């Protein structure tokens, strides 16, 4: 299995791409703040999952990277909330993205609680 086959990776990558396309419509003055931050944190979720998978032979490292991924997922939720309150996204879009993010969080936490199912010893 490759890390790209992990459900958490696939769903987080999809969310990051949703965020990327959505954030293209954010105002120019947000380019180096909100836009950059929400893109960075959403992409970092997938990146940390891929790093964790490569460290799966070392349970503490595996779990640590997954916790980093979970933290980045939470950060993404915060930036999405700012996007909503700044009126850059609709409540419907916000709810849809938060639902996806919450699902990703559950998948990451499942991996954290069951590292042996992912090749950790």
CATH number, position 100: 1.20.1440.60
DSSP conformation letters of 63-102:
HHHHHHHHHHHHHHHHHHHHHHHTTSS-HHHHHHHHHHHH
Q: Does the CA dihedral 31-13-118-51 come out positive or negative?
A: negative
The answer, yes or no, to whether residue 69 has pLDDT greater than 90, is yes
pLDDT at 36: 97
- Residue 68 CA, distance from chain mean position: 10
Enclosing H/E stretch for 39: helix 36-54
pLDDT at 1: 84
The answer, yes or no, to whether residue 106 has pLDDT greater than 90, is yes
Q: What total number of domains does the chain contain?
A: 1
* 59-85 vs 36-54: helix crossing angle, rounded to 10: 160
Kindly report the length of the chain: 121
Confidence category of residue 20, pLDDT binned at 50, 70, 90: very high
In a domain, 121, yes or no: no
CB 120, CB 60: distance < 8 Å: no
In percent, how much of the chain has pLDDT > 90?
A: 94
In a domain, 54, yes or no: yes
Average pLDDT over residues 15-29: 97
Q: Is the pTM here over 0.85, yes or no?
A: yes
In a domain, 120, yes or no: no
pLDDT at 104: 98
User: Residue 1's closest CA among 117, 81, 105?
Assistant: 117
User: Residue 114's closest CA among 70, 47, 66?
Assistant: 66
pLDDT at 121: 72
Structural domain including 16 reads 3-114
């Amino acid at each position: 299995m490759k890390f790209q086959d992990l459900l958490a990776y696939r769903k987080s990558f999809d969310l990051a791409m949703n965020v990327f396309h959505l954030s293209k419509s954010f105002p120019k003055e947000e380019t180096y703040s909100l836009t950059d931050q929400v893109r960075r944190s959403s992409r970092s979720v997938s990146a940390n999952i891929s790093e964790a998978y490569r460290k799966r032979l070392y349970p503490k490292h595996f779990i640590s990277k997954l916790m980093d991924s979970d933290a980045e997922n939470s950060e993404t939720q915060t930036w999405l909330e700012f996007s909503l309150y700044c009126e850059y996204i609709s409540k419907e879009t916000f709810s849809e993205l938060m639902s996806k993010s919450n699902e990703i969080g559950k998948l990451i936490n499942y991996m954290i609680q069951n590292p042996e199912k992912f090749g950790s010893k």
